[in-house]
Structure 1
Amino acid sequence: MKEAIIFIHGLTGTKRAFKKQMDYFQTKYDTYAYNLLGHGEDRGKPIEFTLHHLVQQLEEFYEENGINEAHICSLSYGCYPSTIFASKYKDKVRSLCYIGGHYNAPSQLFDVLRHHWNVREEEYSKWLKHYTNDIYPKESLIDPYAVISKKIYYKYGLELAENILKNAIEHRLYYDLRRDLKSVTAPILWVMGDHDTLYKSTLKELAEIVPHVIYKEIKHAGHAANLFRPNCFKELYEGFLMQFQLEGAIS
């Protein structure tokens, strides 16, 4: 019986963010992906975008698909529901992989999020434009893919219910994800693009919070490193997953 991998996309994205990885890994694994609440086909619909409901969504996805245990690979904000779930259901998570993962530590990112939370009453399209400019700062735009990512984030952010991105900021300001990370016992692969300066700014104490973390950077990549350099990410993740197959063969 194949092991399962569940891929969780980031804000403004869809489950198609991991299409290349799903196509590649499906020969050896049962691969799954789903759209976060308020995304995909539900984009624009009013939704209670809370961490409780996001974790509940993942719980229901396990049940609906008959999954008892899985590797979870999440992009950016997807690290929040996946970490909380892994902390709550240790026996259901074989491993965790974070791409562009982050948490609420004093950092450049935290300052950006706090500023845009404080001005959240601004007209939405104007607020989103300023927010998008700040999470894709000029230094990240040396990579052509980052320019495209910035345009996509704004375009699809406009199509989301207005509370989603603002609620996500609130979660990252006030929910202590570090507490849950400290309680996670599953192996963790943490992947960042070397150009992802803004999100890397939160990770100064990562090795203290998660002593068993395996941290890797992909060169010439930005925030969504699996999209910037899919083959490099594939090699990293495949090597990480191989240890579980070896353990199974030995046992």
Structure 2
Amino acid sequence: MVEKNILLDGQPVYYRMEGTGRPVVLVHGFSEDGTVWENQIGALKNKFQLIIPDLPGSGRSPINDAGWSMEYFAECLRQILDQENISTVSMIGHSMGGYITLAFAEAWPQRLQSFGLIHSTAYADNEEKKTARRRGIEFIQQNGAAKFIEQSVPNLFSEETKKHQPEMVRKILSRYTNFIGQSLVNYYQAMMVRPDRTHVLKSFPRPVLFILGKHDTAVPYEQGLQQSYMPGLSYIHTLEHSGHMGMWEEPELSNDYIDAFLMHS
């Protein structure tokens, strides 16, 4: 493992690199950091060079004063690739990481050999979703990040996972309750204003991966399925026992799907 950083708006952005082979960027989601991919790293690093950032405000990357947006985070990824002199990659994004991947695909499609959305969507927030995020922001501001994560993270898992693997939920909770509240607020605000990017799916000329959770309440299964038919070439997989955290809930299947996609794209 090699640990590096770039300087962005006066603050370092940390990333690590593991493995050798074709470069693949793994982009974490909201209230996570690069360690969310720990179940995938061992399965993929013998075939691919993995680039795993902590986005600004997450993990080992401190918060900065920039105006955050999905485009801003995509630019952050572009600068990491430029620093590594990497011209083309495959990019896999979980949840908010998928929104960032779509922003990258819109700005620099020629730099993507393929990309994947894991429990993510190209649709913009509807009013119901925006209202829920506003309530989340109010809760964070009143009660702090730790209390927010304690309440919200269990909802990301399926009922089956919570019943049979409660230690997994506790592990995620203990890992991410140290978030700075302002980071979570800034992420929420950035997600609320992101545009619809279904046109990116329709116009992207290379393969796109979709991994859907049958019991996902954050990105409902039917919505995920609807968008998966938009690209010219889609790889579509359903995790029958997962909510929004399939990389943890069904790691072996998730790894098989990601590995097969990357080998054929």
Which bracket does the TM-score occupy, shorter chain normalised?
A: 0.7 to 0.9
1:80 alignment partner, one of 99, 102, 107: 99
Paired with 2:130 and 2:217, the residues of 1 have a C-alpha distance of: 15
**CA apart distance, 1:228:** 1.3
- 2:201 corresponds in structure 1 to 181
1:124 alignment partner, one of 122, 138, 141: 141
- 1:228 corresponds in structure 2 to 249
CA separation of 1:95 and 1:101: change in aligned 2, threshold 3 A? same
User: Which letter does structure 1 place at the counterpart of 2:260?
Assistant: G
Q: Kindly report which structure 2 residues correspond to 1:214-225, keeping only aligned pairs within 5 A, or say none.
A: 214-225=235-246
Paired with 1:21 and 1:116, the residues of 2 have a C-alpha distance of: 29
Tell me: higher relative CO, structure 1 or 2? Use CA pairs within 8 A at least 6 residues apart: 1
**CA apart distance, 1:86:** 1.4
- 1:23 corresponds in structure 2 to 42
1:205 alignment partner, one of 210, 219, 226: 226
Paired with 1:2 and 1:152, the residues of 2 have a C-alpha distance of: 30
TM-score by length of 1: 0.79
**More helix by percentage:** 1
Paired with 2:154 and 2:148, the residues of 1 have a C-alpha distance of: 10
1:196 alignment partner, one of 211, 216, 221: 216
- 1:99 corresponds in structure 2 to 118
1:52 alignment partner, one of 54, 71, 82: 71
CA contact (8 A) 1:120 1:166 kept: yes
Provide the identity percentage: 17
**CA apart distance, 1:136:** 4.8
CA contact (8 A) 2:95 2:117 kept: yes
Pair 1:61-2:77 in alignment:
no
- 2:4 corresponds in structure 1 to none
Paired with 1:230 and 1:37, the residues of 2 have a C-alpha distance of: 26
Q: In the comparison of the two structures, how many residue pairs are matched?
A: 240
User: Which letter does structure 2 place at the counterpart of 1:225?
Assistant: G
Paired with 1:2 and 1:77, the residues of 2 have a C-alpha distance of: 26
CA separation of 1:119 and 1:165: change in aligned 2, threshold 3 A? closer
User: Which letter does structure 2 place at the counterpart of 1:200?
Assistant: P
**More strand by percentage:** 2
- 2:132 corresponds in structure 1 to 115
**CA apart distance, 1:181:** 3.0
Structure 2 gap ranges (5+): 1-19
**CA apart distance, 1:230:** 1.3
CA contact (8 A) 1:104 1:174 kept: no
User: Alpha carbon RMSD of aligned pairs, Å?
Assistant: 3.1
Pair 1:6-2:25 in alignment:
yes
User: Which letter does structure 1 place at the counterpart of 2:159?
Assistant: L
CA separation of 1:69 and 1:123: change in aligned 2, threshold 3 A? closer
Structure 1 gap ranges (5+): 245-251
2:259 alignment partner, one of 221, 238, 244: 238
CA separation of 1:218 and 1:138: change in aligned 2, threshold 3 A? closer
- 2:187 corresponds in structure 1 to 168
**CA apart distance, 1:243:** 1.8
Paired with 2:49 and 2:243, the residues of 1 have a C-alpha distance of: 28
User: Which letter does structure 2 place at the counterpart of 1:195?
Assistant: H
